[in-house]
Amino acid sequence: AQRVTQPEKLLSVFKGAPVELKCNYSYSGSPELFWYVQYSRQRLQLLLRHISRESIKGFTADLNKGETSFHLKKPFAQEEDSAMYYCALRGAGGTSYGKLTFGQGTILTVHP
């Protein structure tokens, strides 16, 4: 079974401070991991995926298979980063093919 855990329900930082949203997963195969974001009054949308190794809006996330983690990081948080962030895992075969499993979500608040 696949599982995603985001240990922090709420995370508050001040503008300009570094931010790290934690995500841990359990999956027996080779996972594909994503971060989705939901800004206030907007739809849930893809922020970034590990396979692209990209930086979006200053955010990066590195897949650490040894620690089974996919933490989301940004060196200098901005007020517009305030949102709900979900870590998600996609299974790579069998009955789990194509399906996403989401974590519980972390509400990030960036104070001015």
Partner 1 sequence: EADIYQTPRYLVIGTGKKITLECSQTMGHDKMYWYQQDPGMELHLIHYSYGVNSTEKGDLSSESTVSRIRTEHFPLTLESARPSHTSQYLCASSDLADSYNEQFFGPGTRLTVL
When asked if residue 51 is in the footprint of partner 1 (CB under 8 A), the reply is: yes
73 has which bridge partners?
20, 60
Are the C-beta atoms of 108 and 83 separated by less than 8 Å? yes
When asked if residue 32 is in the footprint of partner 1 (CB under 8 A), the reply is: yes
Are the C-beta atoms of 61 and 71 separated by less than 8 Å? yes
- Number of residues interacting with partner 1: please give it, by CB under 8 A: 21
Are the C-beta atoms of 8 and 106 separated by less than 8 Å? yes
Binds partner 1 (CB under 8 A): choice among 11, 13, 56, 100: 100
Closest separation between CB of residue 94 and partner 1, Å? 13
In the complex with partner 1, the residue whose CB is nearer, 88 or 110, is: 88
Range 56-85, binding partner 1 (CB under 8 A): none
Give me 8's structure tokens.
Answer: 């922090």
Q: Which residue has the tokens 């995926």?
A: 49
> What does the binding site for partner 1 look like in residue numbers (CB under 8 A)?
9, 32, 34, 43-46, 49, 51-52, 86, 90, 98-105, 107
